[in-house]
Chains A and B, each alone.
Chain A
């Protein structure tokens, strides 16, 4: 499976409070998403388009276990995140909610410009941007399937429905 999208480029340490600010956590998921990343890019929520990809540095999503950090990116239409490394719980939550997140330790952000078109090959675990390409982690098939189905609940749901149809 291949995915093409515009790139948003962020640095190191984008934490869960930047993704889903604590003071807006009582709002609806849609309203909360409007504040996603505003602390580092005020125009993010208003300019992001469905299918966009986030490229980032170390420890993307570090911080709390709140699933809203992932949910906000999903609501805004982000199709994948590629980062040098992730907060462990964030990446778990991302897979479970159906957001593709691949770590890419060698990713060189200085070779990337905002809104460059990038191509992500999920199965091979390769990211292409212009002349450059980087090896990302390769996810096992069961995780790729789960993410494609839209996350863990949808994946199990599909299995239940498949059983009923038999």
Chain B
């Protein structure tokens, strides 16, 4: 009786007999770094250890934090990254295409059953594809780069059951904000979460990515979703020549009945309403209409968790044929070039433009506060991103509210928290 997590750890460690809280050494199928966590940190540590990269084809490098390189420091990071890629002959290098967690699956690099680590806390996103995926720090990543292995303490696999189906104008972001509000940011106590139940089958891959991505905000090491027909179809479309892990069909990677342990959680999608989190923590989440609304100065649709094609579609539905409030600026940073192109093909970019939005590059942008566009001390922002910690998106005096892309778009029309269910009736 094994959970999907235990099946993956068993393969990665070569051990079959282990229990929760035991330590294992696991072989990494794929590691990913971006420009901030990548070569500039790895190269000196590898040199210090006199080690070579364990396998150049198992390290993906995707630049998204310090791009476009707007100042000297960013240009230096870009140069260091490119030199490393050239020297090590890295095959999976995707510069300035989009946010690493969104680009990675688009390149066909993920397959269910993989043991994956990333140099970024939202590396949990790959869990949506049935991988065991977690974020690690610079020292950990240097160890992986040198040896191809990493130690892990076997986590509980805690079950998050989604019953029913999401209603009109309610999204995966609202599911996560509901959990953050009810259980706080240490809900998972660094154990693994598995999202399951009939509600999962109603969610697209990009919506599932939002659940796995923000498992980090629930304090989980990983947030996994067992593959189903929707997963396989998506992967076959993006990676027609993908190799199955151990030659096993995708459906092998499932939890056996009764294999979960620790606390379990439930979200009833049928009755879920749009949520919003007040500054300065995702744990300040409550039903959107329960909050007293401030007057927003900026609405931001961006980030790995909030500007994928499905997110842009949701926002466009709200904005179609309308104008944003004169008191607010709407900034949109599509999560990747592929998402941006698809949005353009579907006419979404035109809808945004006509509504009065301004576009930013397809990078982490304002979410991580690294670029030129940052919130000022007076700004009150409503954002489709994952975190609203004090000062993260700019000045320490700025305030950030979190909500789904549809709710952010609705707020852009009125300048205030607005229930997106009350705005559209024609589509």
Contacts and interface: CB of A to CB of B under 8 A. Distances in A.
Contact of B121 (A59, A65, A137, A140): A65
A146 to B, nearest CB: 8
Interface stretch (B84-92, B137-145, B371-379): B137-145
Contact of B45 (A23, A67, A95, A153): A153
B391 A157 contact: no
A136 B48 CA distance: 34
A64 to B, nearest CB: 8
Contact of A140 (B23, B138, B147, B190): B23
B186 interface: yes
Contact of A156 (B49, B135, B136): B49
A5 interface: no
A16 to B, nearest CB: 12
Contact of B139 (A22, A96, A137): A96
Given A62-B186, A88-B221, A153-B142, A96 B147 contact: no
A113 B221 CA distance: 34
Contact of A87 (B21, B45, B142, B190): B190
A83 to B, nearest CB: 13
B48 A92 contact: no
Interface residues of A, number: 28
B138 A67 contact: yes
Q: Most chain-B Cβ atoms within 10 A of its Cβ — which of A22, A87, A96?
A: A96
B146 interface: yes
B151 interface: yes
A78 interface: no
Given A88-B190, A96-B143, A160 B50 contact: yes
- Size bracket of the B interface: 20 to 34
A89 B153 CA distance: 11
B51 A156 contact: yes
Nearest to B147: A156
Contacts of B23: 139-140, 142-143
Given A22-B391, A142-B151, A160-B49, A67 B146 contact: no
Given A96-B143, A157-B48, A160-B50, A143 B151 contact: yes
A7 B146 CA distance: 37
B391 A152 contact: no
Contacts of A57: none
Interface in A94-118: 95-97
B184 to A, nearest CB: 11
Nearest to B396: A23
B139 A152 contact: yes
Contacts of A87: 186, 190
Given A62-B186, A87-B190, A143-B151, A152 B48 contact: no
B390 to A, nearest CB: 8
Interface of A: 22-23, 59, 62, 65, 67, 85, 87-89, 92-93, 95-97, 137, 139-140, 142-143, 151-153, 156-157, 160-161, 164
19 contacts: A23-B396, A67-B137, A85-B189, A88-B190, A88-B219, A92-B136, A92-B140, A96-B137, A96-B139, A96-B143, A137-B21, A139-B23, A142-B23, A143-B151, A153-B45, A153-B142, A156-B51, A157-B49, A160-B50
Given A156-B147, A164-B50, 6 more contacts: A65-B135, A88-B189, A89-B137, A92-B137, A95-B151, A142-B25
